[in-house]
Amino acid sequence: MKPISAPSMKQPSRNFRPSVLATLKRDRWLYLLLLPGALYFLVFKYVPMWGVLLAFKNYQPYTGFWNSEWVGLEHFKLFFANPEFFMLLRNTLLLSLYNLVFFFPAPIVIALLLNEVRLAFFKRTVQTLIYVPHFISMVIVASMTYVFLTTQGGPVNALLFKYTGTTIEFLATTEWFRPIIIIQSIWKECGWGTIIFLAALSGVDVEQYEAAKIDGANRWRQIWHITLPAIRSTIIILLILRMGNVLENGFEQIYLLLNPLNREVAEVFDTYVYFMGITQGAFSYSTAVGLFKSVIGVILVLGTNSLAKRFGQSGLY
Amino acid sequence: MAKTYKSVPGTLFDVTNYILLSVCALTAILPFIFVISGSFATDAELTKRTVFLIPETFSLAAYKFIFSTDTIIKAIGVSMFVTVFGTIVNLFFTVTMAYPLARRALKGRNTVLNLVIFSMLFGGGMIPTYLVIRELHLLDNYGALILPGAISAFNLIIVKNFFQEIPAEIEESAKIDGCNDMGILWKIVLPLSMPVLATFTLFYAVGHWNDFFSALLYINTPEKWPLQVLLRQIVLLSQAAAGDLSAMDATYVQPPDQSIKMAVIVVGTIPILLVYPFLQKHFAKGVMLGSVKG
């Protein structure tokens, strides 16, 4: 335990350890291979991490990064004092909450249903079909949403008009924005989401089902007592990942449906950063908004992860 | 697999289950079929019958219209270029980095791995990344659609895990035969990793084809737009291809807006639907190999 024994323990292995130079020489090809990737992470991931310092500066394009003056927390103060802050926080959190309640369980349910299918052909066909939307771009999804829901010849409104005599401006009202986003997400990703649960389920020992059957368990009880526990840790890991992304609602999806008429419920941190930064040029201010978002995100991942560990689950790290 | 259920409640359960899953599968696929059939319909039919599977009169007017100028063809060309070159860059960067990281004996491996994982947790965000791209003079350059996403950290780790599963003995014996690390990667590791590489080739390629975000951020000139940005312009903003489509041949009768939009959607989707059968064969297997054993 105490360091007294440590040197004597380390001594023998040290004699066999090749020198740093020798390892470098031995693995020179490996280090050479590592170089492009390392450069990539340095330039496109780590340099921008330094760039978050802009949040504490007053960046002007002509003075550049290094010469801009430090302004401390001014941009953060400005942001928190802005009444839009609460709108953004509310929109972001509500979308995440709805996603958690409606979208998150969907792949689990479908995986459980698929797991009960004995007909291999049927199972394969359903899987093949429900994976398709995952590969379609968000632009296509938004376009199809538009084509179906528009009041100018969209089938949904045409049917509505035929049976109720009224039409609904789905894409230009505040009430429909969130439901549309959630339905889009479910349609696009829930089939794909089943893969990971099906993988976890493929490891379940069939004898457990036999034993349960002998004990008189019906199909529901088997699902409840055997199948669900088998995917519990997968569910928890995905829940942790989702918690970390609570402030990320998927820029493309929101941006594509966002318009001045639904902005009140649609604008989220990501789109706000884009509009303030890229289209209005308020680089420092929007960097501050982005930094706020990622810091909360990291805290949430680490927090939920340690919480999961405390409750006896394996967690991510 | 060998479970058998013959009881009546069991059968009821099965019937309900099959019906529910069929509904799910149809929901996933029907919107595409509606859009495809709508794109071949005439204006009159689209206003008369709102949803249908087979158009009464088969019309190519919408397609003739969107291909009457080269705006869309050019955008398709840009998307194809970015997809092909982007995917090559992705594969090169991912494989060359994953291989050293898969070697447990490599000094500094854990540091690099931790730095990669940290970059998944925390990032500079949209604006600092944008400024880096600008400093590198990549704005309005197709490099901006390829380089910033050259490696997906997530894919890198899966490929690394896969490489790690290849028995060290094979590599040892190659080394004894006089192969260096480059040779081992090229002659042994890569051929053994074809399923996983095929999967990621397709994932990366689909990612490039579908990419909208980077073009929105970094490509400002409409003539340089890839297909996805143009799609949004036509369908969502309804500015017929930045004015170009309005200058179409006068001999074409103005087809309905709705069917043009549907045709444009079909054009943006077709490549994916074409590669999908090939894709489908590989991905589940490939992804599982990498992630489950992790």
| pLDDT tens track for A70-110 | 888 999 999 999 999 999 999 999 999 999 999 999 999 99
Q: Is the pLDDT of residue B167 over 60?
A: yes
Which residues pair with residue A69 across a beta bridge?
A58
H-helix or E-strand spanning residue A69 = strand A69-70
**Residue A23 to residue B107, Cβ atoms within 8 A:** yes
Q: Which of A101-110, A159-168, B227-236, B270-279 has the lowest mean pLDDT?
A: B270-279
What is the chain A residue with the closest CA to B231?
A139
Whole-model pTM: value is 0.87
Contacts of A292 (CB under 8 A, 6+ apart): A76, A79, A269
**Residue B24 to residue A130, Cβ atoms within 8 A:** yes
pLDDT of residue B240: 39
Nearest to A274 by CA among B219, B212, B138, B126: B126
pLDDT of residue B285: 61
B131 Cα to chain A: minimum distance (Å): 8
- For chain B, say whether A116 makes contact (Cβ under 8 Å): yes
Helix boundaries (H) for chain A: 5-16, 20-26, 28-41, 47-51, 64-67, 74-81, 84-98, 105-115, 120-131, 138-149, 155-164, 177-202, 206-214, 219-222, 228-230, 232-244, 251-257, 263-266, 269-273, 283-310
Six-digit token pair at A93? 């959190």
pLDDT of residue A316: 61
Count other C-beta atoms under 10 Å from residue A189's C-beta.
Answer: 16
Find out whether A209 and B3 touch, Cβ atoms under 8 Å.
yes
Q: Which of A150, A196, A287 sits opposite B125 (nearest CB)?
A: A287
pLDDT of residue B110: 94
ipTM: 0.86
Count other C-beta atoms under 10 Å from residue A77's C-beta.
Answer: 12
More confident residue, A138 or B238: A138
Q: Is the pLDDT of residue B280 over 80?
A: no
Q: Is the pLDDT of residue B192 over 80?
A: yes
Distance of alpha carbon A155 from alpha carbon B50, whole angstroms: 5
Q: What is the pLDDT of residues B39-56, one digit of tens each?
A: 998 877 877 777 777 888
pLDDT class of B284 with cuts at 50, 70, 90: low
pLDDT of residue A209: 84
Q: What is the pLDDT of residues B82-139, one digit of tens each?
A: 999 999 999 999 999 999 999 988 989 999 999 999 998 888 889 999 999 999 999 9
Q: What is the DSSP letter of A225?
A: I
pLDDT of residue B250: 43
What is the percentage of chain B residues whose pLDDT exceeds 90?
47
Long-range contacts of range A211-220, CB-CB < 8 Å, 24 or more positions apart?
A218/B9, A218/B10, A219/A116, A219/B5, A219/B9, A219/B10, A219/B13, A220/B13
Residues of A in contact with B126 (CB under 8 A): 270, 273-274, 277-278, 286, 290
Which residues pair with residue A58 across a beta bridge?
A69
pLDDT of residue A19: 78
More confident residue, A185 or B285: A185
Please count the residue pairs, one from chain A and one from chain B, whose beta carbons lie less than 8 angstroms apart: 271
Question: Cα A315 to chain center, whole Å?
Answer: 17
Residue A70 φ/ψ region, left for φ over 0, alpha for ψ in the -120 to 50 degree band, beta for the rest: beta
Mutate to test the interface with B, among A34, A249, A292 (most CBs of B within 10 A): A34
Residues of A in contact with B210 (CB under 8 A): 135-140
Calculate mean pLDDT across residues B64-87. 93
**Residue A294 to residue B148, Cβ atoms within 8 A:** no
Which residues pair with residue A57 across a beta bridge?
A70
Long-range contacts of range A220-229, CB-CB < 8 Å, 24 or more positions apart?
A220/B13, A223/A112, A223/A116, A227/A112, A227/A115, A227/A201, A228/A112
pLDDT of residue A66: 77
Distance of alpha carbon B265 from alpha carbon B273, whole angstroms: 12
**Residue A290 to residue B232, Cβ atoms within 8 A:** no
Six-digit token pair at A306? 């340690």
Considering chain B, what is the average pLDDT of its residues?
A: 84
What parts of chain A have a pLDDT lower than 50? 1-12
Distance of alpha carbon A290 from alpha carbon A276, whole angstroms: 11
Residues of A in contact with B21 (CB under 8 A): 110, 113-114, 117, 122, 126
More confident residue, A132 or B278: A132
Residues of B in contact with A24 (CB under 8 A): 107
pLDDT of residue A182: 96
